Amino acid sequence: MLVVDDNTTSRSLLQSYLVDWGMRPEAVADGAAALELLSTAAGKRDPFEVALVDMVMPGMDGLEVARRKAAVAALASTQVLMLRTGAPLDVETTQRLGVGTSLAKPVVRADLHEALVRLVSSGPTASTVPRSAAEPVVAAPVPRPRRRRPGPTVVVASSSSRTIPPTRWWP
């Protein structure tokens, strides 16, 4: 995983999440360094699977990083997860730039994990990897974990000496 963010705190936080999940992330502070690292890794035939790219950076912003990455065939296998401030990216922009998905900042740890699982499970998007006409594109559904919401706690009181533990009810 490659983390591209000009904010030191954000970059460190993202790295710590990825390390906690058993990954070995590399991080850079700007778009030019990101493109250089992506090219070097691809040249060694060890490309990054995903690049987490901050959309708002001085100099070269995240959209420009994605545009330049999309223009280089050797970098097509690296998927981009754009970290945005504000409104979601429109479908045309994400397809044109090969952005797999985007997340709003500040990034919520669980949302990042879910987005990475979906992105890695789906593989590179059709817009980032050229496909032959004979090769069909089949998208497998990614199951979402069911989240349980805490329900009310029911306490049963009795005048007998027998104690009944509190019970949770899940809808």
Per-residue pLDDT of the chain (171 residues; tens, 9 = 90+): 999 999 999 999 999 999 999 999 999 999 999 999 999 999 999 999 999 999 999 999 999 999 999 999 999 999 999 999 888 888 888 888 989 999 999 999 999 999 999 998 886 654 333 333 333 334 444 444 445 455 555 555 555 555 555 555 444
Q: Domain tally for the chain? A: 1
The answer to whether position 142 is within a domain reads no
The answer to whether position 35 is within a domain reads yes
The answer to whether position 141 is within a domain reads no
The answer to whether position 75 is within a domain reads yes
CATH number at residue 39: 3.40.50.2300
The answer to whether position 165 is within a domain reads no
List Cβ neighbours of 76 (8 Å cut-off, separation of 6 or more).
Answer: 70, 98, 124, 128, 129, 130
The answer to whether position 157 is within a domain reads no
Cβ 115 vs Cβ 103: under 8 Å:
yes
Residue 82: give the domain boundaries: 2-122
d(CA 169, CA 152): 7
